[in-house]
């Protein structure tokens, strides 16, 4: 197993089928420097390939999920270097994961930290979590999806207000606007996220992958195109053993035994 400096990785849950990745750069409130992001995307990629893992959780500390991209690292960056080197390009890798990724957010999720949470499939928030896109306060704008993903999940007015003011919003506000699916007492957050991961992992990983892919199409296409994609994927589940097993188990009044096939 890889050894990491800025993240911790472990398998959790009764069946050890939920991967837990903990961002661990406490001195900088998990600011997402190159090394942290590269370790994170490496861990995600690794668990994506690990057949024993059915869901992946990304979390931080009680104080900070992540306080953004590393401002000190970006300080002397130039436009031409950004273009030539593709500043912070590695971030996108996390969105390529085929398995469900759950963000368990305690404390600050600001700037790139908020964007990282939004790259995940589901966000659970601790009750004292704070979300925001403060880039404008330091003379730049969100660059890892903030302006786009908030607009899509919460609409124009909320996206504009969050991105143009840089104000932080509470976990409850984030839940009310649909950014977060559940708010949980801070000390229970990771356990609840693991339970969610276990629930997801109890289904056929193959079918879960198809389902995740289908939901994601909703953000990238017209309704008609999305519905067409969904229908094709739904039909395709009938080419799997797990679809047969799931429906057979239902009619036989027993639990399904999925084989990931
Ligand atoms: N980058 C680097 N270091 C940071 C960052 C950061 N984003 N955030 C905190 N730190 C460091 C501080 O510098 C400090 O270090 P030191 O002790 O060496 O001075 C340490 O973490 C602790 O921070 P504070 O003392 O500030 O802690 P407080 O509890 O007083 O405040 C805050 C907490 C409110 C979170 C505060 O730290 C803060 O405002 N941080 C910056 C938040 C921010 O502006 N984030 C946005 C950054 S820009 C961005 O994310 C752009 C994303 C673009 C991605 C593009 C991808 C393609």
Q: Give φ, ψ of 195 to 5 degrees.
A: -60, -40
Ligand 1 atom with the shortest distance to the CA of 138: 44
- Residue 88: the pLDDT is 79
32 in Cβ contact with 24 (< 8 Å): no
Q: Which residues line ligand 1 (CB under 6 A)?
A: 28-29, 31, 67-72, 88, 91, 108, 110-112, 134-135, 138, 143-144
Mean of pLDDT over the chain:
97
Cα distances from 248 to residues 62, 195, 203, 206, 238, in angstroms, run: 44, 26, 15, 17, 13
d(CA 185, CA 195): 15
Q: Tokens for 60, please give them.
A: 């931080």
Q: Whose CA is nearest to atom 14 of ligand 1?
A: 28
- Residue 104: the pLDDT is 98
Predicted-assembly ipTM surpassing the 0.95 threshold? yes
Query: With a cut of 50, which residues of the chain have pLDDT below it?
Result: none
Sorted by where each starts, the structural domains of the chain and their CATH numbers stand as 7-201 (3.90.226.10), 205-251 (1.10.12.10)
d(CA 135, CA 213): 30
DSSP string, the chain: ----SSEEEEEESTTS-EEEEEE--GGGTT-B-HHHHHHHHHHHHHHHH-TT--EEEEE--SSEEE--B-HHHHTT--HHHHHHHTTTGGGGGGGG-SS-EEEEE-SEEETHHHHHHHHSSEEEEETT-EEE-GGGGGT----SSHHHHHHHHH-HHHHHHHHHH---EEHHHHHHTTS-SEEE-GGGHHHHHHHHHHHHHTS-HHHHHHHHHHHHHTTTS-HHHHHHHHHHHHHHHTTSHHHHHHHHHHHTTS-------
Residue 185: CB atoms within 10 A of its CB come to 10
- Residue 1: the pLDDT is 56
Q: Tokens for 55, please give them.
A: 């869901």
> Which residues share a beta bridge with 64?
108
The residues that are catalytic are 69, 112, 115, 135
pTM for this prediction: 0.97
Q: Whose CA is nearest to atom 25 of ligand 1?
A: 28
Ligand 1 atom with the shortest distance to the CA of 29: 21
- The rounded Å distance from CA 134 to ligand 1 centre is 10
Q: Whose CA is nearest to atom 13 of ligand 1?
A: 28
């Amino acid at each position: 197993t890889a050894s990491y400096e800025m993240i911790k990785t472990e398998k959790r849950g009764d069946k050890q089928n939920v991967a837990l990745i903990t961002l661990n750069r406490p001195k900088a409130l998990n600011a997402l420097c190159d090394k942290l992001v590269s370790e994170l995307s490496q861990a995600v990629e690794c668990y994506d390939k690990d057949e024993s893992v059915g869901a992946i959780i990304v979390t931080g500390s009680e104080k900070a999920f992540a306080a953004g991209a590393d401002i000190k690292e970006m300080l002397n960056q130039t436009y031409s270097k950004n273009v030539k080197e593709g500043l912070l390009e590695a971030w996108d890798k996390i969105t390529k994961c085929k398995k469900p990724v759950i963000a368990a957010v305690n404390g600050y999720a600001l700037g790139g930290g908020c964007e990282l949470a939004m790259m995940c499939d589901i966000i659970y928030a601790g009750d004292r979590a704070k979300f925001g896109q403060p880039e404008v306060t330091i003379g730049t704008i969100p660059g890892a999806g903030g302006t786009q993903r908030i607009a899509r999940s919460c609409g124009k007015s909320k996206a504009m207000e969050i991105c143009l003011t840089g104000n932080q919003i509470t976990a409850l506000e984030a839940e009310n606007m649909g950014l977060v699916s559940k708010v949980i007492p801070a000390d229970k957050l990771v356990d609840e996220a693991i339970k969610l991961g276990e629930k997801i992992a109890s289904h056929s990983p193959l079918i879960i992958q198809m389902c995740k892919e289908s939901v994601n199409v909703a953000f990238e296409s017209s309704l008609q195109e999305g519905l067409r994609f969904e229908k094709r994927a739904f039909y395709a589940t009938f080419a799997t053993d797990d679809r047969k097993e799931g429906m057979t188990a239902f009619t036989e009044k027993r639990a399904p035994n999925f084989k990931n096939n």
